[in-house]
Chains A and B, each alone.
Chain A
Amino acid sequence: VAGASGVFRGAAAIVGAADLASPTGSLDRTARAVEVEVAYAALADAGLRLDDVDALFTAGGGLHTVDLAEYLGIAPLYTDGTRIGGASFEAHVEHATAAIACGLCEVALVVYAETPRSDAQAGLTRDLTANLGDRCREWELPSGIPLPMGAYALAASAHMARFGTSPEALASIAVTTRRWAAGNDRARYRSPITVEDVLASPMVAEPLHRLDCCVVTDGGGAIVLASATRARDLRHPPVLVLGAATAHTHLNVSQMPDPTITPGALTGPRALAIAGMSVDDLDVVELYDSFTITPLLALEDLGFCAKGEGGPFVLETGLGPGGRLPTNTSGGGLSYTHPGMFGIFLLVEATCQLRGTAGVRQVPGANVALAHGMGGVLSAASTVVLGSEATR
């Protein structure tokens, strides 16, 4: 990894970012319409045009990049449909930066949208197990495990049994995330909640309550990456890609090497090593929060605390506004939006924080941010370290 640092660190920057969500949870339009809207918005934010794009990254099914490129009217010379669930877009940043560093492309567009609420209202149902393979259908689904939620519940149960992690510690993550959502006028839920509210909400899959689970909403987001050279002349100060790493360890929860350890234990140290940084250098942290257990495991695996100490850590550290470790400043998947793959929103929010444009949610003087995606059933992780010009 040390060798990668020299060519990778700072080779590319996020120069444009946009996301779209509604407090109602519904955008009342197709996913394709949202993709087009956020793609144009991110390019406008960068001060670039569609003509400037020479690389396209998406994570949908089918020949998604091929389909979307035709629809937008572009012929990208670099294409990447990496689809690893919620961590897809962090992997796209890694891959785009590597491609830009090699000179294979110069301006990369990453696009995502899903509209589960509008689809449901139109009578369309989503098969949440569509991503799971024949092994899951033969060896796991006959047990009645609801996926993906049940797998996260199993991980939480193992963590509680082994380390004594309390339901209150998990609930506290929903509470601090909701405090951030209060400052996001597009968040699905903004009213304050307490630990008692979370624990009193209906049990969904023990030990996870309804308020331990992400929302289900329409939404989309896009980012534009450009070479560091190109980035200098654009509208906003560049948000440099300092380090990135991706890993996956299993698809089925029964095959997870240890139900309390995620592939974030591989990606966090690697991404930070490429960036030449430690967790102490991070000013703001955006961690995938499909369920409250997800960021708790990430905090341990990324190295903010030792394995097993996530419960006491979240209770003592202060992840909310004004806290010692500002975490999930957009309101997260728990309160802001979660169309299915939240990873793009982590990157958009980190970009806003490093530009200093996050409004009432702004973490003062934020120079280094981490975005950590998680896909599948704690299966695939991708970590991106981003920095302002000051970190170049």
Chain B
Amino acid sequence: MTARSVPPASRLSEPFWAATRDRRLVVAWCADCGGVLGYPRERCPSCGGSAIEWRPASGRGRVVAATTVHRNPDPAWAGRAPYTVCLVELTEGPRLLSSPPLGHDQAAVDVGTAVEVAWEPLEDGRAYPWFRPVPGGIPREDGPQVE
């Protein structure tokens, strides 16, 4: 059983991973069109703009799809099964894949479940954002979280 492996940050993604050291979730926005980028890139996929802004995210979202994995040929994961991988849509729009850390409740999560970010420390000081159900769900009008 090995630790969760996350590649080193790229030049583009460095602000995202740097924020995780303070347990802050940030999202890349296009300063030109105001659209959200999802993962960072040189040019906005909506308007072609090149001004990326990293803004704090609410850390909340909903499960769009979920699968409990019973078999993974990757030896790093084989021993962890079963575990649940969720496709989470943040309230800001981007979608992320997420799974709980080893030792946490690995039970299936229903599609539509309201979730919030939690942090799994990585060996290098960064943290992996994962998402857990919010007790009682999230009111729809919930805005971005103030840091």
Contact = CB atoms under 8 A, between A and B. Distances in A.
B partners with A: yes
Interface of A: 128, 134-135, 137-140, 142-146, 150, 153-158, 160-162, 202-208, 253-255, 259
Q: Which 9 A-B pairs have the closest CB atoms?
A: A161-B111, A153-B67, A154-B65, A143-B97, A158-B65, A146-B72, A206-B68, A254-B95, A142-B6
Contacts of B85: 143-145, 150, 154
B39 A253 contact: no
A138 B69 CA distance: 20
A117 to B, nearest CB: 14
B108 interface: yes
Given A142-B7, A144-B83, 15 more contacts: A135-B39, A140-B97, A142-B4, A143-B85, A144-B77, A145-B97, A146-B74, A150-B67, A150-B69, A153-B67, A154-B66, A203-B68, A205-B71, A255-B95, A259-B65
Contacts of B6: 138, 142
Q: Looking at A134, A154, A156, A157, which has the most chain B CB atoms within 10 Å of its CB?
A: A157
A385 B119 CA distance: 50
Contacts of A156: 67
B5 to A, nearest CB: 7
8 contacts: A135-B39, A142-B6, A142-B128, A143-B97, A146-B77, A154-B65, A206-B68, A254-B97
A144 B66 CA distance: 12
Contact of A259 (B4, B10, B74, B87): B87
Given A134-B10, A138-B7, A206 B67 contact: yes
Given A158-B111, A204-B71, A254-B87, A259 B7 contact: no
Nearest to B87: A154
A191 to B, nearest CB: 23
A145 B80 CA distance: 12
Contacts of B64: 158, 259
B112 interface: yes
Contacts of A138: 6-7, 10, 13, 39
A205 B69 contact: yes
Contacts, number: 99
B87 A253 contact: yes
Contact of B98 (A143, A155, A161): A143
Contacts of B96: 139, 254
Interface string B28-49: 0000000000110000000000
B99 interface: yes
A208 B85 CA distance: 14
A140 B64 CA distance: 15
Contacts of A153: 67, 69
A204 B73 CA distance: 11
A157 B67 contact: yes
A208 B71 CA distance: 11
Contacts of B68: 203, 205-206
Contacts of A205: 67-71
A225 B80 CA distance: 49
Contact of A143 (B13, B99, B112): B99
Contact of B70 (A128, A139, A143, A202): A202
A135 B98 CA distance: 15
A160 B65 CA distance: 10
A143 B77 CA distance: 10
A154 B73 CA distance: 18
A287 B111 CA distance: 28
